Structure 1
Amino acid sequence: MSGYYPYGGAAPTPPPPPEEKGSAALRTVLIVAALAGVATVVAGMLIVLNSPAEYGLESNRDALALQSQPTGKPEQALFQAGPDVPPPLPQIVPAPAMLPSTPVRLVIKRLGINAPIKSVGLAKDGSIEVPPSNNANLAGWYRNMSTPGEAGPAVVLGHKDTRTSPAVFSKLPQLKNGDTIEVQRQDKTTAVFTVGGVEQANKKTFPTERVYGGRENAQLHLITCGGIYNRITGHYTDNVIVYATMTSSYRS
């Protein structure tokens, strides 16, 4: 009885065609599978994160030694210039020179240096004498030059090491521009010098004019050995030279 519906009223909603039932079932299966896949991925990530070393994902950052961590501060470059170039000056105004007075003690607080000073002259071969090696904590002031605090360069030498231990100037290359050096003098005054540069020069090309040449300001030049130790000659190949200018003084 086509077109006839019992009990009257509108025709009921027809059932979906067979192909629509199949599509709904397929969608349901795909949704369930997708959810299961997401759950599997999340679970896998948690396992890897909890045991990164087992999967080759462990970070090397924490494995760096403390001294290998970057400081963010560039290392100071050594002073380099031709042999006739004047000594480097600190970025502050030099203090007026004082009257001559024999130095008695050298103090570099940042390096832990507190050393008596001995007067030295020239050796038989014409080179400057060095302090006796049996006293590792002894510096030598070259008495044929200015006294520290007097106008001109004052030259103080010290050993890098001895046969048995480091010596007074072993840490000299660690000085940086702006560091201060104090020289106590016989007249009860202390001359304060500010480092303007540190140079490492081969002994064959020693900057004689820069170290010993006349200057208007009161300067202090510290000298020790550096470079490579030559076991055949018994000497180091280089010299380390610190250039400092007097920037203040006070009465001890």
Structure 2
Amino acid sequence: MVNQYPYGSPVPPPPQPDDGGKVLRTTLLVAAIAGVVTVVAGMLIVLGAPEEYGLASDRDSLALTAQPEGKAGQPEQAMFQAAPDVPPPLPQIQPAPAMLPSSPVRLKVKRLGIDAPIKSVGLAKDGTIQVPPSDNPNLVGWYRNMSTPGEAGPAVVLGHKDTRTRSAVFSRLPEIRNGDQIEVKRQDGVTAVFTVGGVEQADKKTFPTQRVYGPQQNAQLHLITCGGVYNRNTGHYTDNVIVYATMTSSYRS
């Protein structure tokens, strides 16, 4: 017989038959298997409804700043948030030198399917900026008392989200993303290309006037439309959606 206990260990005597021990071991084995089955079943019940057993994770109830858009791994972009006197967000790209003034004639956002003529607008009688007429839902308005697109400072362009009967030119504006490009064709034949640096949704009662209209060294483009909830009593939306973009290149068509 081969020595199963090397390194000088003594060989134990052969085991003696013990029928009672076999019965006991069999009984213990069956009891152990039954116990494991019971524990596993209990765990499955608890995991199926953890909140009923005080085991629900706090993470399950946290409010997320960005919810899934529908495609796995592609969350919505979080909106820019800051105090009203904080400067506009800039894109992660070097701004282009500002150009001489020239009125805008057309605005394009390729990814959103926007290709709209531009109308010059001023101030209404109540002191607010005029909006483009609603009978032309694809028209946007450039506020002529500010910079022209491509000129140093903020160029402000407004467009409707919708009308009483259909969606309008800026209905998809909240879908724009940081890094997207906006093109503005000017009367001098130059197209100014702006890169989006941030998107903000602001309550109209706390509109960030300084950030939108304040002086800036770079050539910027600020697009504004309505957002939030529609108030049927006032006939207006509660918020504004504001896109901040900086000129990063230009070309002559």
TM-score between both structures, scaled by the size of structure 1: 0.73
**Corresponding position: 1:75 with 2:77:** yes
Contact 1:76–1:176 (CA under 8 A) maintained in structure 2: no
Give the total of aligned pairs: 218
Report 1:219-238 matches (<5 A).
219-238=220-239
Report 1:149-168 matches (<5 A).
149-168=150-169
Structure-2 separation of matches of 1:243 and 1:207: 12
Report 1:47-66 matches (<5 A).
none
Compared CA separation, residues 230 and 76, structure 1 to 2 (3 A):
same
> Which residue identity is paired with 1:198?
V
Compared CA separation, residues 126 and 108, structure 1 to 2 (3 A):
same
Structure-2 separation of matches of 1:117 and 1:155: 11
> Which residue identity is paired with 1:81?
A
Structure-2 separation of matches of 1:192 and 1:96: 12
1:87 aligned residue: 88
Distance apart, 1:134 and its partner CA? 0.6
Structure-2 separation of matches of 1:69 and 1:220: 30
Q: Secondary structure of the residue that 1:159 maps to in structure 2? A: coil
Structure-1 separation of matches of 2:204 and 2:83: 15
C-alpha distance after superposition, 1:206-240 (max 9, x if no partner): 11111111111111000000011000000001111
> Which residue identity is paired with 2:94?
V
- Percent of matched pairs sharing the same residue: 76
Report 1:1-252 matches (<5 A).
70-71=72-73, 73=75, 75-82=77-84, 84-252=85-253
Structure-2 separation of matches of 1:171 and 1:149: 24
Q: Secondary structure of the residue that 1:209 maps to in structure 2? A: helix
Q: Which has the larger radius of gyration?
A: 1
Structure-2 separation of matches of 1:87 and 1:190: 22
Contact 1:103–1:183 (CA under 8 A) maintained in structure 2: yes
Structure-2 separation of matches of 1:155 and 1:69: 33
> Which residue identity is paired with 2:134?
S
Contact 2:77–2:177 (CA under 8 A) maintained in structure 1: no
Distance apart, 1:176 and its partner CA? 1.1
Q: Secondary structure of the residue that 2:92 maps to in structure 1? A: coil
Structure-2 separation of matches of 1:210 and 1:163: 30
Compared CA separation, residues 132 and 71, structure 1 to 2 (3 A):
same
Distance apart, 1:186 and its partner CA? 0.5
Q: Secondary structure of the residue that 1:245 maps to in structure 2? A: strand
Q: Secondary structure of the residue that 1:229 maps to in structure 2? A: strand
TM-score between both structures, scaled by the size of structure 2: 0.72
Structure-2 separation of matches of 1:194 and 1:115: 18
Compared CA separation, residues 166 and 97, structure 1 to 2 (3 A):
same
- In the TM superposition, structure 1's runs of 4+ consecutive aligned residues that sit over 2 Å from their partners are 66-70, 72-82
C-alpha distance after superposition, 1:92-151 (max 9, x if no partner): 111011111110000000100000000001101010000000111000000111100011
Q: Secondary structure of the residue that 1:165 maps to in structure 2? A: coil
Distance apart, 1:74 and its partner CA? 6.0
Superposition CA RMSD, Å:
3.4
